[in-house]
Amino acid sequence: MKKLLASIAGLALLTGSALAADMAPAPVYKAPPPAPPPAPSWTGCYVNAGGGYGVWNIDQYEETNPGFVALTSTTTSGGRGWLGTVGGGCDYQFTLGNLGNFVVGVLADYDFMDVQGQMVPPPLADVGTEKESGSWSVGARIGYLVTPNLLTYTNGGFTQARFNAVTYNLNVAPFTPGVNGVQAQTFSGWFLGGGTEYALNFSWLPVKGLFWRNEYRFSTYEGKDVPLFGVGGAPLAFAERTNPYTQTITSELVWRFP
């Protein structure tokens, strides 16, 4: 009898262990983390578009015309405003020994500008509104890849800017509108700038090849002897020696061709 009871108890223990094993949760399978996206390539061509803020200053003095003999000291006028920019270019990425990865390229862009301010030529008796309406640039850049996704660079090259015509009003009594003015002018010069560009190679982006660029640029232009015109466009015996220079800050989206 005792052997029978012991056998029944042993069978019960075995059955319970089996049931407990059957009721234990199955191990959870964890998928391996996704592989990071491959490092972007900076070699290739691109288009870019964006916007920003611009500042111009103009140094000027009055002079004779003809002869261009200075008659006054130099004064400085200034303007501020917004701009839109479009452009394109091509880059090439390379490794320079143990120094790391570099990028060189060529670029071209155009700025649509609404940068306005008051022109107050010496001897400060006249005042008018000047607007820089546009500029274009061609040049080159060189940069260093701080990380595979982040480029720091400097650029430079040739630029031209368009300044609209100005009609001056006499700013002293008797206050007279349209006493004289200057025609629209295109100035040529050079630019130097720099900035950063970041590869937006996120897997969730529907468009591939996007980069985000932020840039500062300084441009200076040749001086010009700009003739003054009187009422009705009659030429006067005076001119303005005009030297513009500008600064811009832009933020742009860049798309590199696949």
**pLDDT grade, residue 203 (50/70/90)?**
confident
Break the chain down into helix, strand, coil percent, rounded to 5.
10, 65, 30
d(CA 148, CA 18) in angstroms, rounded, equals: 56
Express each pLDDT in 46-81 by its tens digit.
999 999 999 999 999 999 999 999 999 999 999 999
pLDDT score recorded for residue 98: 93
Sheet strands (E) in 41-125 = 44-64, 75-95, 101-119
* AA letter at 136: W
Q: Tens digits of per-residue pLDDT, 104-126?
A: 999 999 999 999 999 999 988 89
Query: Phi/psi at 190 (nearest 5 deg)?
Result: -135, 160
Q: Between the CA of residue 216 and those of 51, 98, 145, 196, 222, what are the distances in Å? A: 12, 29, 18, 10, 21
What pLDDT score was predicted for residue 5? 43
Domains of the chain in sequence order: 37-256 (2.40.160.20)
Question: What distance in Å separates the CA atoms of residue 171 and residue 175, rounded to the nearest whole number?
Answer: 6
**Cis preceding-peptide flag for 177 (omega within 30 of 0):** no
- Report which listed range, 84-93, 167-176, 201-210, is most confident: 84-93
- pLDDT at residue 27, as a whole number: 65
Q: How far apart are CA 158 and CA 153, in angstroms?
A: 17
In terms of C-beta density within 10 A (0-12 exposed, 13-18 middle, 19 or more buried), how is residue 116 classed? middle
What is the pLDDT, as a whole number, of residue 36?
64
- pLDDT value, residue 11: 42
180: enclosing H helix or E strand? strand 180-182
Highest mean pLDDT among 19-28, 130-139, 170-179: 130-139
- What confidence tier does 33 reach under pLDDT thresholds 50, 70, 90? low
Q: Which two tokens stand for residue 68?
A: 């261009």
Q: Is the pLDDT of residue 192 over 50?
A: yes
What is the per-residue pLDDT for 171? 84
Please state which of the ranges 90-94, 108-112, 200-204, 218-222 shows the lowest mean pLDDT. 200-204
Q: Using alpha carbons, list the distances in angstroms from residue 86 to 26, 51, 107, 195, 209.
A: 59, 9, 11, 16, 17
pLDDT digits (tens, 9 = 90+) for 151-187: 999 999 999 999 999 999 988 878 788 889 999 999 9
CA-based R_g, the chain, Å: 35
Q: What does residue 13 show for φ and ψ, rounded to 5 degrees?
A: -65, -45
In angstroms, rounded to a whole number, what is the distance separating the alpha carbons of residues 119 and 138?
Answer: 28
Please say if the pLDDT value at position 225 is more than 90. yes
Q: Can you tell me whether residue 44 is helix, strand or coil?
A: strand
Q: Which residue, 156, 182, 155, is CA-closest to 168?
A: 182
Answer yes or no: are the C-beta atoms of 128 and 168 closer than 8 Å: yes
Amino acid at 59: D
**What percentage of the chain has pLDDT greater than the value 70?**
86
Residue 9 has pLDDT above 50, yes or no: no
- Contact present, 81 and 118 (Cβ < 8 Å): no
pLDDT band at 14 (very low <50, low <70, confident <90, very high): very low
Q: Which two tokens stand for residue 114?
A: 């609404």
pTM for the complete prediction? 0.83
8 band by pLDDT with thresholds 50, 70 and 90: very low
Q: Where are the alpha helices (DSSP H) in the chain?
A: 2-23
Q: What percentage of the chain exceeds 90 in pLDDT? A: 73
Cα(181)–Cα(11) distance, integer angstroms: 113
